[in-house]
Amino acid sequence: MKSSKWKRLPALLALVISLSLFSGCGEENTIEEASTAGGLTKVSVEYSEEDLDATWDTSSAVMISLLGNTAEISGDGAIMEENKIRITEGGTYVLSGSLEDGQILIEADEEAKIKLVLNAVEIKSSDGPAIYSVENDKVIITIAKGTSNRVEDSATYTLAEGEEEPNAAIFSKSDLTINGSGTLVVNGNYNNGIVSKDDLVITGGNVTVLAVNDGIKGRDSIAIKDGNFTITAKDGDALQASNDEDAEKGWISIDGGNFVITATGDGLQAESLLQVTNGTLSIACGDDGLHADAALLVEEGTILISNCYEGLEASEITVNGGTIDLTSEDDGFNAAGGNDKYYIRITGGDITIDAKGDGIDSNGSLYFAGGTVKVNGPTNNGNGPMDYNGVCEVTGGTLTIAGSSGMAQAPSDSSTQCSVSVYYSAAQAAGTVASLVDANGTVILSFAPEKEYSSIVFSDPKLIQGESYTLLSGKSTLTEVTLSEIITKISEDGSAVTGGMGGQSAPHPEGDGERPERPDGERPEGAGAPPDGNTAPPDSSTSATTTT
């Protein structure tokens, strides 16, 4: 991971902070952030009425008809100067038509709220953003139902000496909301597609962004409730919250919507917290699929990552639900970074990982308490299907974790659910079904890894201590095994295995021990080093946040 992303965060953060954001229409939309010492961090977002309202009053709105190189303006608060439509007062402005070379420039007072309705409009700028909000309290861009709209900035900007902004086709220095149900295409030819220097909220719309660098950025936060998104970030991240100066900011909450993401950098990147509570994401990227410097939380939704360097990466990763299916060049899940505390906690969900590096890797501890986890791990012995430096406690869930054996680890003795770890003397061919069958002939667990494997971990609530099971390879019986302990480690012939990374003293096939290089050639600070402590994170029920 790029070293610039990693900032040292406090090891023990205990706070409950109420932030009044996205307020309007006489109501206050409260967002609460909470973090307990080493525990779950979550942001509870309620979307205000004005964020959701995609209607407008035509009787009081200012109507602006764009006519190529000029415009007709009906109402007060906006004027045309040269090639710019200057909006200087709060209110609703309805745009239609085409501006061949110009800009919508918002320069209202700092308390003004501007509603900008895109009603079948095309805006191109030859110097700077197509829509540029310099000063106001908040801008709401409504994409009118049934309309197609397009905004495009220039490939070069004329900026004051020493200035680096504005730098996006739609650029707002204040809070920005996008809503509606129409179509909006944004071409960011200079740098980014859509940028808010404060909080960015999206509650609807069919939005396509093609950007030279980052696709959609909210410096302080991004909250998305609904919409359909196609985002291409040629040299950057598809979605990014970039505030690294305030621990209470720099977060992303995906609460709905459908996303198709292509990025050279990360799919989603948050400086503090990244959470997915709903929605569908399809991601292909050159770096991490989902990355947060502090905490990454998945509660519901579907995450499909067809290509990435690492799938999910953060100091603290929690999965309570949803579907995750990923293919990675290096680690599938990776708990690492600039913090001194790491963990991965899975309490629910359906997770499938195909990793060339470690399948699930924590520089701290692993906690499996529910859900279904399938790992098609590495084939080289320099990586493991499961890798941890603290403890691996299995108290629930269904696990089938397969891969190479050189670095393979078994769960810890502190687990309360039985597991069986098998270490093979020769690699098993891809697609070879490994099964555990009980005394009645019932298949308890069965897994056909998509790549060759020489170790596998089975765990399921149906495995009972003291009971005996048959280990099969395809239809062939390998051995009988009795679960005399919570943790059982055997070779394929049934002999006990002790010692080593996961207790494997049995021979394992030789293999390439090298890890793939990260796109920038760097590993996260602290990667591979054990943390100072391995205290278990609290249950989500004790640290989840409610909105007041």
Q: Which carries the bigger pLDDT value, residue 263 or residue 28?
A: 263
Q: For 269, list phi and psi in degrees, rounded to 5.
A: -140, 120
**DSSP-assigned states of every residue in 340-409:** S--EEEE-S-EEEEEESS-SEEESSEEEEEEEEEEEE--SSTTS-SEEESS-EEEEEEEEEEEE-STT--
Supply the pLDDT for residue 27.
37
Of 183-187, 380-384, 530-534, the poorest mean pLDDT is in 530-534
Q: What is the pLDDT of residues 84-105, one digit of tens each?
A: 999 999 999 999 999 999 999 9
Say if CB 391 and CB 534 are below 8 A apart.
yes
d(Cα 440, Cα 6) in Å, to the nearest integer? Answer: 53
Question: Which residues are CB-contacts of 162 (< 8 A; sequence separation ≥ 6)?
Answer: none
pLDDT at residue number 350: 98
Q: Where are the domains of the chain?
A: 9-52, 61-158+165-308, 318-516
Q: What span, in angstroms and rounded, lies between the C-alpha atoms of 252 and 268? A: 8
Q: Which of 10-14, 238-242, 449-453 has the lowest mean pLDDT?
A: 10-14
Task: Give the tens place of pLDDT for each residue, 152-186.
Answer: 999 999 998 888 989 999 999 999 999 999 999 99
Lowest mean pLDDT among 30-44, 107-121, 240-254, 285-299: 30-44
Whose tokens are 């499996």? That residue is 368
pLDDT at 235: 97
Higher pLDDT residue, 498 or 334? 334
pLDDT at 499: 64
CB 273 within 8 A of CB 297: yes
| pTM for the predicted model, two decimal places | 0.88
Q: Which of 451, 418, 411 is nearest to 434 (CA)?
A: 451
Pairing of strands 206-211, 199-202: unpaired
Q: How far from 118 is each of 142, 197, 321, 419, 480, CA to CA, in Å?
A: 6, 21, 37, 58, 69
Average pLDDT over residues 392-400: 98
Angle at 245 between CA 244 and CA 251, to 5 degrees: 45
**306: closest CA among 320, 291, 286?**
286
Checking if the pLDDT of 359 tops 90, the result is yes
